[in-house]
Amino acid sequence: MDFWGHLDELRGSLLKALAAVGVAAVVAFCCKEWIFMLVMAPSHDTFVTYRLFEHITGHGTHFQIALFNPELAQQFIVHMRVALWLGLLVVSPYVIYLLFRFVAPGLYAHELRPAVKAVVGGYVMFLMGVALNYFLIFPLTFRFLGTYQVSDAVPNQIALTSYIDMLLMLCFLMGVVFELPVLSWLLAKIGVLKASFMRRYRRQAVVVVLIVAAVITPTGDALTLSLVSLPIYALYEVSIAVVRHTAKEDI
């Protein structure tokens, strides 16, 4: 196939991907009540994470945070944004399949299996990062910041856009951060990264983790920084084990 043939095939794959995302987004848009029940769940003290901590500690703190909408069309825009992102998340396996099917013919036979592992592993790790944020990082951050007051005379009223922006941004960033073991595996597979190197620079890695956590967190409080940095460092340790295992496989 010549260049224009490849370009036409890529165009077809992209159009199929856009059509799938569009259909999924429309379906998500029509399921407004169910979707926003999930999206708004961390803003209520009955959320599963809060109840779990209450069960573990033996006491809970009930809270009520008012969300408000200051702009006329903002709720409709938020509805469309959430539907689009959810639609993309739902059909992302199909989109990845289309892109991989376009790239796969250019790979050698011995490269195909590692490529499949990297794609599948990367997708699973991304979902794990999104789930960790939704069930742990975002709820605890929202509860702490949403109930924090400098004075009883200053009640908290959180804008809907602030809530949605923080939730979506943290979901995406934590999903990307969770790609660290997959990236480490790929670098180890091509012989660029060694487990001994990662162990030698553990202290420096802690500093880098704290810097990354401070950059990707939308707030500067210590709680959010800790909640984000601890999973990232745990991923670093997991990456060391992955690199060490990959080196043994290649021997």
DSSP labels, 39-94: HSGGGBTTSHHHHHHHHHHS-----B-EEE--SSSHHHHHHHHHHHHHHHHHHHHH
| Cβ burial 182-192 (10 Å sphere, 16+ → b, else e) | bebbbebbeee
Residue 161 and residue 74 in contact, taking contact as beta carbons nearer than 8 Å:
yes
Q: State how far the alpha carbon of 165 is from the alpha carbons of 160, 171, 173, 179, 197, in Å.
A: 9, 10, 12, 22, 37
Q: pLDDT tens digits, residue range 189-212?
A: 888 888 888 999 999 999 998 888
pLDDT of residue 219: 59
Longest dimension (CA), the chain: 71
What are the E-state strand segments in 74-179?
Answer: 157-159
State the Cα–Cα distance between residues 243 and 149, nearest whole angstrom: 46
pTM: 0.85
Q: Is the pLDDT of residue 178 over 80?
A: yes
Which segment of 4-8, 44-48, 167-171 scores lowest on mean pLDDT?
4-8
Q: Can you say whether the dihedral through the CA atoms of 173, 178, 179, 181 is positive or negative? A: positive
pLDDT of residue 102: 82
pLDDT of residue 114: 81
**Rg, Å, the chain Cα set:** 22
Kindly tell me the number of DSSP H helices and DSSP E strands found in the chain: 11, 2
Q: What is the mean pLDDT of the chain?
A: 86
Which segment of 14-28, 88-102, 163-177, 236-250 scores lowest on mean pLDDT?
236-250
pLDDT of residue 24: 94
- Provide mean pLDDT across the span 29-53: 91
pLDDT of residue 40: 93
Per-residue pLDDT band at 64 (split at 50, 70, 90): confident
Residue 180 and residue 209 in contact, taking contact as beta carbons nearer than 8 Å:
no
State the Cα–Cα distance between residues 129 and 121, nearest whole angstrom: 12
- Provide mean pLDDT across the span 15-43: 93
